[in-house]
Amino acid sequence: MRWDPPPSARDLAPTAFKDWDVLRSEAATAVDASMLALIQDRIAVMFGGATSSHAPANESERACSEAIEQFLIDVSALNDGQRDAVFAALTTRAYPFFQVLYISDFDFRFRAALRQLFDEADSPSPESEPAALAENPDLWPALDTFLTDVASLDALDPVTTELIRLRGARAHNCRICQSRREVAAINRGADESTFDKIDLFETSDLDERYKVALRLTDAVIWQPAAYPDGLVEQVRATFSPEETVEMVLDLVRNAANKVAVALQADQPLVPVGVEYFSVERDGTLAYGLPAPVGAASHG
């Protein structure tokens, strides 16, 4: 499919987009309206350069505001004091708070990616009226559906998929994500020597296709509102629209690890080496697999 004019991203992955619509809707019921407004205000200020329109309105918001900013900037640096302040203020709503924070954070990045890559001015899903606060919010079922449906997409090759997953895992310092390797990528020729090039990919001998994908990964994570000059043209020259929307959705999906990192629930399951996993055709994941034939040992 040609990029001129860019196709509708939603039409290329309608199920995943609908799943995200559901997540956005449920997130609006998981924290109170004032807390959601504070989260969205901090995102608009920090990423979009807006002027703040919502100062912390109460003690709970004041306790959470620092954690919100740290989560957005660099979740790996979120400290015990910031985390404890959230749990002291929100108690049983602390876990859904971090889920809402991830959804709000990456909704901005998602919309920014669609605007820049697909020339789409509209948000991924329609805006709706504020919903009533859920008594016992549980975002995991809707989140799991989104994660699974994105994983089932198959336009993008496994090596590119794995490289951007690991780049994001290192950016967020998700320990469990960094300890895992996807067998399809290894079966396509990637090994530890390939993955060792991720950190300094620009000066490595990785294929230019992979470098473009990693540049997009960095842009979504570190400068989502305005990509570096020339990046959009590089992406469109290198990847099809189907591959590109899958990359963007993969980046949104992978970043769910920010919740685990924020809660210090990202411990690897293997004490040394790596754990192998596979993505099944339906998007479900199989873990603890034997090392693929030809896999290089992990130092």
- On the CB side of 262, how many CA atoms lie within 13 Å of its CA? 31
Nearest to 250 by CA among 225, 221, 288: 221
What is the rounded average pLDDT of the residues 83-102? 96
**Residue bearing tokens 């740290």:** 70
Percentage of residues of the chain with pLDDT beyond 90: 86
Tokens, residue 110: 């998602």
Q: What is the pLDDT of residue 24?
A: 95
Radius of gyration of the chain (CA): 19
Q: Tell me the residue type at 240.
A: S
Bridge partners, residue 276, by sequence = 181, 289
**pLDDT interval class at 126 (50, 70, 90):** very low
3-state SS assignment for residue 291: coil
Query: Which of 220, 221, 249 has the alpha carbon at shortest distance from 232?
Result: 220
- Report pLDDT digits (tens) over 53-79: 999 999 999 999 999 999 999 999 999
In whole angstroms, give the CA distance from residue 279 to residue 182. Answer: 8
Provide CATH 1.20.1290.10 ranges for the chain: 149-289
CA distance 212 to 84: 39
Q: What is the pLDDT of residues 239-279, one digit of tens each?
A: 999 999 999 999 999 999 999 999 999 999 998 999 999 99
Helices and strands, counts by H and E, the chain = 15, 3
Closest CA to 170 of 196, 188, 147, 189: 196
The pLDDT score that the predictor gives to residue 137 is 87
pLDDT at 132: 76
The answer on pLDDT for 294 being more than 60 is yes
Cα–Cα distance, 231 to 234 (Å, whole number): 5
Contacts of 83 (CB under 8 A, 6+ apart): 67, 262, 263, 264
Q: Please say if the pLDDT value at position 130 is more than 70.
A: no
Predicted structure pTM score: 0.94
8 Å CB contact between 98 and 262: yes
Residue 277 DSSP symbol: E
pLDDT digits (tens, 9 = 90+) for 156-186: 999 999 999 999 999 999 999 999 999 999 9
Mean pLDDT of the chain: 93
pLDDT tens digits, one per residue of 3-55: 888 899 999 999 999 999 999 999 999 999 999 999 999 999 999 889 999 99
Look up residue 21 and give its two tokens: 């619509």
Give the CATH fold of the 149-289 domain.
AhpD-like (1.20.1290)
- Per-residue model confidence (pLDDT) at position 5: 83
pLDDT score, position 131? 66
